[in-house]
Structure 1
């Protein structure tokens, strides 16, 4: 993978309550999460630094896959690799923050710019649609000459909409479900971070208590 630096240090602030990142927790608890404003100012040149700068060759089989790609992790890498193997050019749609909130009921941890750069940093990705719509339209398929639309089997969060965003490519016979190689999700990653952070705090509190007890009971080596 290409090297990329993102502001994931905000995770501990975003997930202030452990129950808010529980895989089995309801949308109500997750709705308490808030994303912070981005200090990253994207320019075409800065974005191109993460892109391979290549366009699909004539007659290339363009594969399209979309998603939130929040807290870009190994599961994302593997599904993108699987998708890339189905064609010659991998086009990835990254949904905007508001669309993800409307779809899942809670916002992403990382904002659109960070998630976009995370996807672009993956070696299997050729191009990214920044702020891609949830529904795959005919205009998208025509404009980007999409030959195949794929979707993984690991889906994070539920959708409040009854509209199938892949209805059109399904009707055209260009839709395919790809088995996700890993079951990792952004929520499971965040949960792991919180668990480790809680364990770290408990270990330090225990250490401090031991040190306080030692100094309280400490006797001078030399005395009267």
Structure 2
């Protein structure tokens, strides 16, 4: 298994659940230092067109308290390349549902120019924030 110096991953981490924890654990197993971008409320509203249930400051505090996380930064844009240019990392970890998509194929090519790559991690079966939100709204 590859071992990287600096890893990066992002998420909303609204209604934190075991799938989030599993992804952070698997990411940390593959790097020495894990930076986690937590999407700001404005960022989430901009691309998901909904307000997170848990406010940014609380979501960031929850993620920062997890032993696998070395640093939390606000994710203010969905542009992963912009963050890479401002703060180098060796690998970005992302859920495998995006592997092979046009957007992430483009990111893979662009990241390579900066000596970074993307490693896709499997989703935890049977759990997602969307499923939790549906249960709450019933």
Fold match (TM-score > 0.5): yes
C-alpha distance in 1 between matches for 2:46 and 2:85: 26
Gap regions ≥5 residues in structure 2: none
Paired residue for 1:122, among 62, 66, 69? Answer: 66
Q: Could you tell me which residue of structure 1 aligns to residue 120 of structure 2?
A: 177
Matched, 1:69 2:13: yes
Q: Could you tell me which residue of structure 2 aligns to residue 153 of structure 1?
A: 96
C-alpha distance in 1 between matches for 2:64 and 2:41: 17
Paired residue for 1:102, among 33, 46, 50? Answer: 46
TM-score, normalised relative to structure 1 = 0.50
CA 1:153–1:62 in 2, change beyond 3 Å: closer, same or farther? same
Contact 1:78–1:182 (Cα < 8 Å) also in 2: no
Question: Could you tell me how far 1:188 is from its partner in structure 2?
Answer: 2.1
Matched, 1:164 2:86: no
1:77-135 alpha-carbon deviations (Å, 9 max, x no partner): 00111111111111100111121122122221111111101111211111011234211
CA 1:122–1:170 in 2, change beyond 3 Å: closer, same or farther? farther
Paired residue for 2:129, among 186, 190, 201? Answer: 186
CA 1:125–1:182 in 2, change beyond 3 Å: closer, same or farther? farther
Question: Could you tell me how far 1:150 is from its partner in structure 2?
Answer: 1.4
More relative contact order, 1 or 2 (CA 8 Å, 6+ apart): 2
Structure ID, larger Rg: 1
Question: Could you tell me how far 1:142 is from its partner in structure 2?
Answer: 4.8
Question: Could you tell me how far 1:194 is from its partner in structure 2?
Answer: 5.3
Matched, 1:144 2:52: no
Gap regions ≥5 residues in structure 1: 1-59, 156-162, 196-224
CA RMSD after TM alignment: 2.6
Contact 1:152–1:177 (Cα < 8 Å) also in 2: yes
1:22-77 alpha-carbon deviations (Å, 9 max, x no partner): xxxxxxxxxxxxxxxxxxxxxxxxxxxxxxxxxxxxxx711100111111111100
Structure 1 residue runs of 4 or more that deviate by more than 6 Å after TM superposition: none
Contact 2:43–2:76 (Cα < 8 Å) also in 1: no
Question: Could you tell me how far 1:170 is from its partner in structure 2?
Answer: 3.9
